[in-house]
Structure 1
Amino acid sequence: MNQYQTFYDLHHQAQPLLIANAWNVKSAQIIEKAGFSAIATSSGAIASSLGYNDGEQIPFEELLYIVKRIKANTNIPLTVDLERGYTNDLEMLHSHIQQIIDIGAAGINLEDNQGEDIFLEKLKSITGYLTQTNQKLFINARTDVFVQKLDNPVEIAINRGKLYKDAGADGLFVIGLKDAETVKKIVSAVELPLNVVGVSTLSSVDELADFGVKRISMAGMLYGAGYGKIDELVSSIKKENSLSQLY
């Protein structure tokens, strides 16, 4: 079974796919060693680790290099946070998709924060390209309606989820969800597997499974928590004038 099919099947099992977000080879290897079934990248974490702000401020070539190194040094399915595709040119977008496939990635996240129409144009172009070239890539369609604070976000998210499914998306990623009832409404209305970020109010995998969630990710939180620990450690070393906490 190829890694695309493995990754696809992980979204259609009884238990949700719990996926951790890496930003370099070492973090990805730690995730794999811990027993996770797949690895996601966090665009924000990769950008921050290289001194860039999030939001496609990192050049695509630099992102691709990191992703390529991660894939070359791990064995489980990898999905890439592609933000908005790092271009508005559809031919260039196809090139980016092909390069992601060529390194062996099983999937991508694609964001709709430019608006529904632009997103649908990109999504349909990608799915058309995949069909034309007889290739597979799991497309997790991310909608930002909650973080953008649009009016009637639940209704918009549900409507977009249906449109994105019809356009060929394999999953729906709704960021900014914080309460169980909203999660349940979206799950019941959209046929795509729902991906959420496990925030503090929605952190129980078992509860999210009961709500019907199929994928739980960590976004940049693992990166933030890890470097928060390093921050505490080096501050303590400096304050205590001792390296004892390293041993």
Structure 2
Amino acid sequence: MSDYEKFLDLHHQAKPLVIANAWNVKSAQLIEKNGFDAIATSSGAIADSLGYADGEKIPFAELLYMLERIRSCTGIPLSVDMERGYADNLNDLNVNIQKLIDIGVAGINLEDPQGEDIYLKKLSSIKNYLARTNQQLFINARTDVFLLKLPSPLETTLRRAKLYQEAGADGLFVTGVQDPDIIKEITAATSLPVNVVGTPKLSSIQTLAECGIKRISMAVFLYRATYNQLENIVKNITATHSFTPLHQPS
């Protein structure tokens, strides 16, 4: 079974796929070591770790290098946060997609802040390219309607879900949604496996499972939590004039 097939199956099991977001090899290895079935990347975490702002500010070549290192050092399916695809030209977009496939990526997130018309052109281009070249890649269609606070967010999300499914998306990633009742309406209205981010207001995996969610991501939050711990350690070294904080059990 290919990594794509394994990754696809993880979205259609009884329990949700809980997926942690890595930013380098070590974080990815720790995710794999601790029993996760797949690894996702966080574009914001990778960019920030290399001194770039989020939002495709990191050169794609640098992102690809990090992804290649992660993939070569882990053995479970890898899904990549591709933001808007790092290209507006459709031929360039497909070149980027091929580079991901060549290093063994199983899936991507592709987001729609440019609007559904541009998004559908990109999604259709990728699907046509995959069909033409007889290749497979899980496309998690990320819609930022709630995150961007667009008008009529539920209605717009449901419309986009239908359009994206018809265009060949494999999953639906809804960011910024916080209300379990709204989540239930979304999952009931689409046959696509729905992905949300675990947040303080949506921290219970069981609750999200009961809402019909099939994939739960950690986004940039795992990265932030890690570096919050690091900041606490170095602050304590400075405050105590001691290296004891380096050797305290975690």
Q: CA deviation digits over 1:123-175, x for unaligned, max 9?
A: 00000000000000000000000111111000100110110000000000000
1:69-84 equivalence runs, <5 A? 69-84=69-84
Structure 1 segments, 4+ long, off by >3 Å, are none
The corresponding residue for 2:53 is 53
Q: CA deviation digits over 1:164-189, x for unaligned, max 9?
A: 00000000000001110010010001
State the SS of the aligned residue for 1:201. coil
1:183 aligns with 2:183: yes
State the SS of the aligned residue for 1:192. coil
Q: What residue ranges of structure 1 are gaps of 5+ in the alignment? A: none
- What's the CA shift for 1:64? 0.3
Q: What residue ranges of structure 2 are gaps of 5+ in the alignment? A: none
- What's the CA shift for 1:77? 0.2
1:188-199 equivalence runs, <5 A? 188-199=188-199
Matches of 2:203 and 2:185, distance apart in 1: 18
Matches of 2:68 and 2:161, distance apart in 1: 30
Matches of 1:211 and 1:151, distance apart in 2: 23
- What's the CA shift for 1:48? 0.1
Residue 106 of structure 1 aligns with an amino acid whose one-letter code is A
- What's the CA shift for 1:104? 0.3
The corresponding residue for 1:218 is 218
Q: CA deviation digits over 1:178-219, x for unaligned, max 9?
A: 110010010001111000000111111111111110000000
The corresponding residue for 2:28 is 28
Matches of 1:161 and 1:241, distance apart in 2: 55
- What's the CA shift for 1:94? 0.5
- What's the CA shift for 1:233? 0.6
State the SS of the aligned residue for 2:21. strand
- What's the CA shift for 1:107? 0.2
TM-score, structure 2 as length reference: 0.98
The corresponding residue for 2:158 is 158
TM-score, structure 1 as length reference: 0.99
The corresponding residue for 2:241 is 241
Residue 9 of structure 2 aligns with an amino acid whose one-letter code is D
The corresponding residue for 1:94 is 94
Q: CA deviation digits over 1:4-23, x for unaligned, max 9?
A: 00000000000000000000
Residue 211 of structure 2 aligns with an amino acid whose one-letter code is F
State the SS of the aligned residue for 2:242. coil
State the SS of the aligned residue for 1:70. helix
Residue 47 of structure 2 aligns with an amino acid whose one-letter code is A
The corresponding residue for 2:134 is 134
State the SS of the aligned residue for 1:5. helix
- What's the CA shift for 1:245? 1.4
State the SS of the aligned residue for 1:67. helix
Q: How large is the RMSD of aligned CA atoms in angstroms?
A: 0.4
Sequence identity of aligned pairs in percent? 61
The corresponding residue for 1:171 is 171
Residue 233 of structure 2 aligns with an amino acid whose one-letter code is L
Residue 28 of structure 2 aligns with an amino acid whose one-letter code is A
Matches of 2:212 and 2:63, distance apart in 1: 33
Matches of 2:224 and 2:15, distance apart in 1: 26
Residue 79 of structure 1 aligns with an amino acid whose one-letter code is S
Matches of 1:190 and 1:152, distance apart in 2: 18
Between the two proteins, the alignment pairs up a number of residues equal to 247
Q: CA deviation digits over 1:94-145, x for unaligned, max 9?
A: 1000000000010000000000000000000000000000000000000000
Residue 45 of structure 1 aligns with an amino acid whose one-letter code is A
Residue 54 of structure 1 aligns with an amino acid whose one-letter code is D
State the SS of the aligned residue for 2:26. helix
